[in-house]
Chain A
Amino acid sequence: KAGVTQTPRYLIKTRGQQVTLSCSPISGHRSVSWYQQTPGQGLQFLFEYFSETQRNKGNFPGRFSGRQFSNSRSEMNVSTLELGDSALYLCASSPTQGAGEKLFFGSGTQLSVL
């Protein structure tokens, strides 16, 4: 079974631009979560989607948004990029939603904002 696939692997943008990151979960997995990882703040939860519905959202500004498609693939969008948005964005999938579910992580998209 293929793992969680995130594209692109690396991305360089400038302040004010917007960016869209993509995540394809493991086949059969219906829940997708997104996390931001930075040296200063560590790993922080962005949001979780299940069956095309956002089930949970972290404490991030409205510039961060996401969606999930009927095939469970997910995208996250960041508008009006700021320097502080530079981070590794990790996507994780699980078969269902649930607190005890283990998450399978992709290798991430490294976003650099100049």
Chain B
Amino acid sequence: AQSVTQLGSHVSVSEGALVLLRCNYSSSVPPYLFWYVQYPNQGLQLLLKYTSAATLVKGINGFEAEFKKSETSFHLTKPSAHMSDAAEYFCAVSEAGGTSYGKLTFGQGTILTVHP
């Protein structure tokens, strides 16, 4: 079975500060890992995904995440926050192989607030 834990339901940063959103996963097989962002009244948009090609994954809007197998983590970072980054962020896991196909298991989400 797969699961995702996002540490911190709310994160607040100042504009220009480092953004760090934490995600830990549990998976019985090698995982695929994703970060999605959701703006108010919208669906989810993919920021980046890890599929075992490289442990450091770069995504859109300056975000990146590092897969650390020993820590079962996939934290999302951005060096300098922008006001437009304010949104809710979801970490998700999908199991490679098996019959889970496209099923994603999501974390509970982290709301990012950016202060001027």
Q: Which residues of A contact B (CB under 8 A)?
A: 4, 31, 33, 35, 42-45, 48, 50, 55-56, 58, 90, 92, 94, 97-108
Q: Which residues of B contact A (CB under 8 A)?
A: 32, 34, 36, 41-46, 49, 51, 90, 92, 94-109
A103's partner among B46, B97, B98, B107 (CB-CB below 8 A) is: B46
* B34 with A102: CB separation less than 8 A: yes
Inter-chain CA distance A4–B46, complex, in Å, is 14
Other contacts beyond A92-B44, A100-B51, A105-B36: 11, CB < 8 A: A33-B103, A45-B103, A99-B97, A99-B103, A100-B49, A100-B94, A101-B102, A103-B44, A103-B102, A106-B43, A107-B41
Q: How far is the CA of A31 from the CA of B94 in the complex (A)?
A: 15
* Pairwise interchain contact B43-A108, C-beta atoms closer than 8 A: yes
User: Known interface pairs A55-B101, A100-B32. Does A43 touch B106 (Cβ–Cβ under 8 Å)?
Assistant: yes
| A48-B90 contact in complex given A90-B43, A99-B32, A100-B49, C-beta closer than 8 Å | no
Are the C-beta atoms of B43 and A33 separated by less than 8 Å? Answer: no
- Rank and list the top 7 A-B pairs by shortest CB-CB distance, nearest first: A105-B43, A43-B106, A99-B94, A105-B44, A97-B101, A100-B51, A100-B32
